Amino acid sequence: MKIAKTLSVLGLAVAGISLAGCRAGGENPGLEYAPQMYHSIAYEPLSQITDEENQGDVISNREDGRGEFFNSNINNPHRMNMREPVANTVPRNKEGYLPYRLKAFELEPAALIKNPVESNEAVLAEGEKLFLQYCNACHGKNGEGDGLAGAVIGGVANLKGGAYIGLPEGHIFHVITKGKGRMGAHGSQITPENRWKIVHYVKQVIQGASSAAAPAAASDSTVVVAQAETPAK
């Protein structure tokens, strides 16, 4: 009994003393356990601290003795944290599309872009789902400009109406992407591939046979995708 009591008092004292060692204050930086967890050094792409000694070396816990804030990547040329892209290359997005660089008013070059997504039953079904999700509120289920929100906004295009029947696919893609007049841009909400699926649905189902003459997707999808996002002027 006595021994157990003595031991627990001793244990408490040891714990107390060791915890007190952690306290920082005044000149005392305190004691840290697993300092590398607290002071992990991240490569930050837009910053580069190259001074190995003087940047925070006072508080540094690095095993290599460098300053705390030294964050250059010594494996890259000029110790850069972010490498430059390979010369003469353009980054593609996750889906393999090149950046869409046309401005909202550039409808003419947009009209030349061909639909890179090949149409089939599944694509049309998907297009319908997306149309109901994103366009129905204004354009209505059948695209006749009679959606519930459309009634409030007013002036919504009837996609079955005269002039709209002949709209090229690229034009519709562009309008979805950038918006037009009172129609907002949907580019940030719908992926390019899904936008092209909606275009198929609008041309083939909503506008029906009148758009049957629309050019089909070319066979080489890479070339078409390249054209799709960077049309020749």
List of residues contacting ligand HEC (CB under 6 A): 134-135, 137-139, 149, 153, 155-157, 159, 164, 167, 172, 175-176, 180-184, 186, 198, 202
CB 46 → ligand HEC: shortest distance, Å?
35
Counting every residue, how long is the chain?
233
**Which CB atom, from 198 or from 217, has the smaller least distance to ligand HEC?**
198
**Which CB atom, from 67 or from 145, has the smaller least distance to ligand HEC?**
145
Helices marked H in 65-185 — which ranges? Answer: 107-111, 121-134, 136-139, 148-153, 162-165, 169-178
Assess contact for 114 and 227: CB atoms under 8 A.
Answer: yes
**Which CB atom, from 198 or from 228, has the smaller least distance to ligand HEC?**
198
Instruction: Count other C-beta atoms under 10 Å from residue 123's C-beta.
Output: 18
Q: What are phi and psi of 33, to 5 degrees?
A: -100, 140
Q: Count CA atoms within 13 Å of residue 47 on its CB side.
A: 9
**Which residues are CB-contacts of 32 (< 8 A; sequence separation ≥ 6)?**
22, 38, 61
**Which CB atom, from 141 or from 182, has the smaller least distance to ligand HEC?**
182
**Which CB atom, from 165 or from 226, has the smaller least distance to ligand HEC?**
165
CB 171 → ligand HEC: shortest distance, Å?
6
Q: Which of 85, 112, 107 is nearest to 180 (CA)?
A: 107
CB 102 → ligand HEC: shortest distance, Å?
14
CA 129 to chain centre: 23
CB 130 → ligand HEC: shortest distance, Å?
7
CB 109 → ligand HEC: shortest distance, Å?
14
Q: Which of 114, 115, 112 is nearest to 233 (CA)?
A: 112
**Which CB atom, from 159 or from 217, has the smaller least distance to ligand HEC?**
159
Place of tokens 């070339």: 223
Instruction: Report the residue closest to ligand HEC, judged by CB.
Output: 181
CB 110 → ligand HEC: shortest distance, Å?
10
